[in-house]
Amino acid sequence: MKPQHRNLLLAAVLATVFATSLVRLFQYRFSAGDVYPPGSSLRADPLGSKALYDSLSLLPSLRVGRNHEPIGRLSEPSGTTIVVLGVDPEAKGSPMPSDADSEDLDRQVRAGARLVLAFQHQSLESATNVWRHGMGNLRASARGSTNHHERFNVRLGFDLSATNNAGEIARRVGDGPFAVDVLPWAAGWSLDGLSKDWTPLFLREGNAVVAERTLGSGSVVLLATDFPFSNAAMRRGHSAEFLAWTFGSHRRVVFEETHLGLTYEPGVAGLIRKYRLGGAVAGLALLAGLYVWRQCVRFNPPPVAADADTVAGRGSAGGLLNVLRRSVPPSALPGTAFAEWHRSLGRRHALSEQRRADAQEAANLENAKPPGQRDPADFFRRLARILRHR
């Protein structure tokens, strides 16, 4: 194997190994889920809710999806349960990225949607997670200086208070709509300042942690922590009856992701897929490839070096000879040549009438012969002797 071929093979092997390692690294990170914020249905570690999302997707009676676009574009609000998990407790006044999104969420609920709003549960992992600080900056920049909207928690009539020293058990209040008496609960926040429109359902050390109220044609379920929806709670065997009640009777469940910073911003490739322009792009790529090929490949043979064997081209005399060969038969060539000479040049030469007559007689004799017996070379020699004779 030549050295250059060996180097190319080695480079190809190294590039393949690097690309494979990079793909496996990304697959590992995305499968672990820690690239997504806590509470996301895309996150597979204990802080996420992917297990719940995948479980609901297996139910044939439910349509489960994720929302990565502005909440105002959500259709069919009267038959939809909107699940908003991992809300930063510091953003209780506007759980969505902007006040306009909070207004859209309020309109969706009043139109008949069921809103499940759960705040991010406090843990060592969530306290040190980089998404917590990043989302705070994102929410602050998106909201800007707009303070004319009524705060979300004030409009709904609730507040949060820190009760980190409380136990990890939540108990049912009265006769709830489900036969669940005790729920495992993560330490963190509790609901405070609930208005009379709220119905507390679970208490932890005397503090409400789950409450429900109606709003317009819809309803709101408020949880002080999103731990019951997390992968960690699924592993511990959380109450399926409680979760089923949380989602309500709607047949469509949408996990809201935009408040976590996971928005869908279509690029060129997304627009091509959306408007089905793959064929047009493939055609343009084919034309571009043909253009590059035309610029790189010579269809005419390249010029030959001066010292190489060349084939001489044809001049004017060679072209005339080629035309004569194609249009005048060999047997008729002497007579045709003499007639043309006599018409164009013969009259200019100082020839006697006798020599003209002798030449014409020789031509007539030659033309009178059958084509197979004519001898152009002999006729040319006889004609030359007559014309040169003095």
Q: Which of 256, 251, 250, 255 is nearest to 62 (CA)?
A: 251
CB 254 within 8 A of CB 67: yes
Predicted confidence at residue 311, as pLDDT, reads 52
State yes or no: pLDDT of 131 exceeds 90: no
Predicted confidence at residue 33, as pLDDT, reads 61
| Residues whose CB is less than 8 angstroms from the CB of residue 295 and which lie 6 or more positions away in sequence, other chains included | none
Q: Which residue has the higher pLDDT, 117 or 88?
A: 117
Angle, in degrees to the nearest 10, between helices 353-368 and 333-344: 150
pLDDT in tens, 205-251: 888 989 999 998 999 999 988 888 988 888 877 788 889 899 988 99
Predicted confidence at residue 174, as pLDDT, reads 78
Angle, in degrees to the nearest 10, between helices 376-388 and 333-344: 30
Predicted confidence at residue 145, as pLDDT, reads 39
pLDDT in tens, 261-281: 888 766 777 778 778 888 898
Predicted confidence at residue 351, as pLDDT, reads 64
Lowest mean pLDDT among 21-35, 185-199, 373-387: 21-35
Q: Which residue has the higher pLDDT, 76 or 5?
A: 76
One-letter amino acid of 268? V
CB 92 within 8 A of CB 153: yes
Give the mean pLDDT of 194-206: 89
The residue count of the chain comes to 390
Predicted confidence at residue 109, as pLDDT, reads 92
How would you class 300 by CB atoms within 10 Å of its CB: exposed for 0-12, middle for 13-18, buried for 19 or more? Answer: exposed
User: What's the CATH number of domain 35-265, 1.10.760, 3.40.50, 1.10.3470, 1.10.10?
Assistant: 3.40.50
- Averaged pLDDT score across all residues of the chain: 79
pLDDT in tens, 135-150: 444 444 444 434 434 6
Read off the pTM.
0.60
State yes or no: pLDDT of 116 exceeds 90: yes
State yes or no: pLDDT of 15 exceeds 80: yes
CA distance 138 to 144: 10
| Residues whose CB is less than 8 angstroms from the CB of residue 278 and which lie 6 or more positions away in sequence, other chains included | 272
CB 78 within 8 A of CB 112: yes
Q: Which of 368, 378, 376 is nearest to 331 (CA)?
A: 376
Predicted confidence at residue 314, as pLDDT, reads 63
How is residue 355 written in tokens? 């020599």
> Got the DSSP string for 154-222?
HHHT-EEEEETTS-SEEEE-SS-SSS--EEE--SEEEEES--TT-EEEEEETTEEEEEEEEETTEEEEE
Per-residue burial over 127-146, b = 16 or more CB atoms within 10 Å of its CB, e = otherwise: eebebbeebeebbeebbeee
> What are the CA-CA distances from residue 240 to residues 153, 183, 184, 226, 368 (Å)?
28, 11, 13, 15, 120
Q: Which residue has the higher pLDDT, 166 or 388?
A: 388
CA distance 235 to 188: 20
Predicted confidence at residue 57, as pLDDT, reads 93
One-letter amino acid of 352? S
Largest CA distance in the chain: 149
